Each structure stands twice: as C-alpha cells, then as structure tokens.
Amino acid sequence: MTYVTPLPLDAITDSEMLELISQARVLGVPDDLFPRIIWRAPEQAKPIMRALLMSHTQGNVDHRLKEIIRVLLARFANEKYFASLRSRKAQETGLSEQRIDEGCNEYDDDSKGFSEAEKWALRFADLLYLDAHQIDKAFYDNLKKHWTEAQIMELGSFMVCHYGMQMFMRALGGRSGVH
Amino acid sequence: MSTSPDAVDAAFFDELRKHYSDDEIVELALFIGMNLGFHTFFGSLKFYPLFSPEGQLLTQEESEKLYGGAPSSLNEQGAK
C-alpha cells in the first residue's frame, strides 16, 4: 500500500491523460498505479507520463538496451515498483530476464556478448547515480566513440526521467500489483 | 529522498500530512524526483548558468568560476 492513496481510475477524465495511460498499458511500463498517484498533481502528471513513455519508446537507442538500463537503475534505487514492471515491446523483440540480469550485473564480462557500445551505455547507467565523479571528460570521450551526442543526451534524459520517478515511487512506497 | 530514502517512512508521512495535503505531497515528491535525476546528469555534463545573479551574460568559463566546480548534489550520492 502506498503512503498516499491512489485515486480511483475513474477520477481521471482528461482525454490526453487517458490516452497516455492506454499507451502505458500496451507497453507495460508504468501500470495503472503510477498515473493514479500522480494525477493528484495533474499539471505535472501529463508531462511526466509523456516523458516516461517517449524517452522509453522513441529515439535512436535500442529499446531493449533502454529496458535493461531502466531495470538496472530501479534495482540500484532499491525500488520495487518499477523494478517489477517489464516492457512488452522489449520482451516481444527478444529481451529475456536472463539478458536483463546479465546487463545489470555482468555487462563487462566479455563472454556475455555485449558490444562495446552497450558496455559503455550500461557503465554510464551504472555510474551516474553511484559515482557521477567518474563520469568526467575522459568518460564522455569514450562514450562518444560509440554514441553520437544526440544518443548520449537521449540516454541521459531517459535515465533522468526514469530514475527520478523510481525514487518518487520508492518514497511513496509503491509496489507493482499492490494497489 | 536523495541521500536517505529509507527515512521517508510512514512516520515521516504522518508528520508531512500535518502541513501538506496528499495532493501537495505528490506535487512536491514529483518535483524532487525530477530534480534529483536532472541535477546529477547535468552536473556530469559540466555546464553552468548562462547569467550571473545580477543578470549579466557569462561565458561558461566565467560561470564556472562564479558558481564553482561540481554541484553539491554530486557530493552525496546513491540511494542507501
């Protein structure tokens, strides 16, 4: 049970928010609990839902890699709600639980087959909220060998939105499936 | 939420509710969550405000001198 009571779904009548909830149901992230909580602040709710969905599903970075990064961040944040959710789009395009675990814990192990670009993206996620001092000019120089600046901003913005909302749900005590 | 999220527990929310409604608590927590995410990433990109507190346009070098090195949000990191 969350510390703040989620609103009933029928309290949300705004057509744009309902469309965003519909898109999230198709994707699987977030489920209905998150919008039912954030609709208490409707002016913030719509841009945040839009940012979560767009940063996850659009752009020029592989969606499966973003999904691994999202789960990595949620586990690092020790946040159960978002860590329990899975992108159906990523699953349908071949991302397995085993691959997610490997990406979270063993991406540097050459035997796991992650490309150098994927390793640097996962290292970026691993370090950003653990020790951002290590993400210095030399780190960005290495990142730029594999990713364009547009892709780096896409990765960073994606992590910002999702980690921020993972910490929000951790603070509010959210758990997937416990509404 | 940033450095000691476990301290944000039921007792903390009981105290918070003495001063804020549930709607205001959600608004505050969303604002904090977004800023918590953004400050760390933008801090790593090493860019600084375009203007001095007096409104004067600054170069990034001038701004770094004025506003200092790493933002303090980078000093205490990671959800414990």
Residue A98, number of CB atoms within 10 A of its CB:
9
pLDDT in tens, B35-78: 988 888 888 888 888 999 999 999 988 998 988 765 554 555 55
Average pLDDT in the A29-44 region? Answer: 97
In this model, does residue A179 exceed pLDDT 70? no
Q: What is the mean pLDDT of chain A?
A: 95
Give mean pLDDT, residues B1-21. 91
pLDDT reported for residue A167: 94
Question: Which chain A residues touch B1 with a CB distance below 8 Å?
Answer: 167-168, 170-171
CB neighbours of residue B24 within 10 Å: 14
* pLDDT class of A174 with cuts at 50, 70, 90: low
**Interface predicted TM-score of the whole assembly (ipTM), two decimals:** 0.90
Mean pLDDT of B17-38: 94
Domain boundaries, chain A: 63-163
Per domain, the residue ranges of chain B are 5-69
- Interface size, chain A vs chain B, as Cβ–Cβ contacts under 8 Å: 102
Global pTM reads: 0.91
Residues 30-59 of B with CB under 8 A from A: 30-38, 40-41, 43-46
Q: Which CATH number fits the domain A63-163, given the four candidates 1.20.1290, 2.60.40, 2.60.120, 3.10.450?
A: 1.20.1290
- Whether residue A130 and residue B78 make contact (CB cut-off 8 A), yes or no, is yes
Interchain CB distance below 8 Å, A160 and B34: yes
DSSP B45: T
Q: Is A5 on the interface with B (CB under 8 A)?
A: yes
Rounding to the nearest 10 degrees, give the CA dihedral for residues A162, A143, A147, A68: -40
Whether residue A121 lies within 8 A of chain B, CB to CB, comes out as no
Q: Which chain A residue lies closest to B7 (C-alpha atoms)?
A: A171
Which residue in chain B has the smallest CA separation from A130?
Answer: B78
Q: Going by C-beta distance under 8 Å and a sequence separation of 6 or more, which residues neighbour residue A40? A: A4, A7, B22, B23, B26, B27
For A82-95, how does the pLDDT look when each residue is reduced to its tens digit (9 = 90+)? Answer: 999 999 999 999 99
**B40 or A13, which is more confident:** A13
- Quick check: A99 pLDDT over 50? yes
CA dihedral (A89, A92, A94, A97) in degrees, to 10, reads: 80
Q: What is the pLDDT of residue B6?
A: 85
B73 with B43: CB under 8 angstroms? Answer: yes
How confident is the model at residue B47, as a pLDDT? 82
Residue A140: the pLDDT is: 96
Res A139: pLDDT: 97
Q: Which residues of A are less than 8 Å from B17 in CB distance?
A: none
Lowest mean pLDDT among A70-74, A154-158, B9-13, B28-32: B9-13
Shortest Cα distance, chain A CAs vs residue B59, angstroms: 19
Predicted local confidence at residue A175, as pLDDT? 58
